[in-house]
């Protein structure tokens, strides 16, 4: 009986180490897995780093395809500036803008989001949104600031860039940028716009 007891503890340690090793091997987030379906390949393509998306320049210096509506094209210069500064594809910013406001700088949603990129301000309806530590948007700009198109594009692009960096891919960043209750629906809408306006 004593011989069996002296093997129990080492066997337990060995088994625990084996479980930890196998778990890390199976659930390693950095492990590269080859896509075995067309859907997985499409999702992997959407998750490509933003910096790898090449802008498609028009002869007039606008990095947006001519197929975008004029309501979006009129904001080409501030979109290009924000894209260059924050390292995003201008077409992605334009796709968010088209989905959010249709290019209308005075857009105001029923939830209180403001302007071209539909950013939640610290005042107005958004001031009533409470989080665990107080008002959810207390560090955000005011409605007045966000109704300025240049400021709104810059701030919205900064937010989007930060979310893409935080979550590691475009679709996840867009999911976080969109309405809380929409899940991936919002992200997929924006990506469809992005892909349709080439």
Is position 172 annotated as part of the catalytic site?
no
Task: Find out whether 166 and 50 touch, Cβ atoms under 8 Å.
Answer: no
Angle between helix 170-177 and 38-46 (nearest 10)? 70
Name the phi and psi angles at 116, rounded to 5. Answer: -55, -45
Question: Cα 92–70–66 angle (5° rounding)?
Answer: 65
Of the residues 30, 39, 57, 100, only one is catalytic, namely 100
What's the token pair of residue 40? 């997985």
Which residues, in sequence order, are bridge partners of residue 134?
Answer: 131
Active-site amino acid positions = 100
């Amino acid at each position: 009986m004593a011989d069996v007891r002296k093997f129990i503890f080492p066997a337990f340690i060995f088994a625990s180490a084996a479980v930890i090793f196998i778990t890390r091997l199976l659930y390693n987030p950095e492990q590269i897995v080859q896509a075995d379906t067309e859907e997985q390949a499409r999702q992997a393509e959407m998750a490509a780093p933003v910096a790898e998306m090449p802008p498609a320049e028009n002869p007039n210096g606008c990095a947006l395809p001519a197929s975008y509506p004029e309501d979006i094209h009129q904001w080409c210069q501030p979109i290009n500036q924000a894209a260059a500064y924050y390292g995003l594809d201008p077409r992605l910013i334009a796709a968010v803008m088209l989905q959010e406001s249709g290019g209308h700088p005075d857009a105001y949603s029923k939830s209180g989001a403001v302007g071209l990129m539909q950013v939640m301000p610290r005042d107005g309806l958004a001031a009533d949104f409470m989080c665990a530590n107080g008002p959810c948007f207390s560090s955000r700009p005011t409605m007045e600031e966000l109704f300025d198109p240049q400021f709104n594009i810059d701030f919205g692009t900064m937010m989007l860039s930060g979310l893409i960096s935080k979550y590691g891919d475009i679709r996840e960043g867009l999911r976080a940028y969109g309405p809380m209750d929409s899940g991936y629906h919002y992200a997929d809408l924006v990506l469809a716009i992005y892909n349709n306006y080439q």
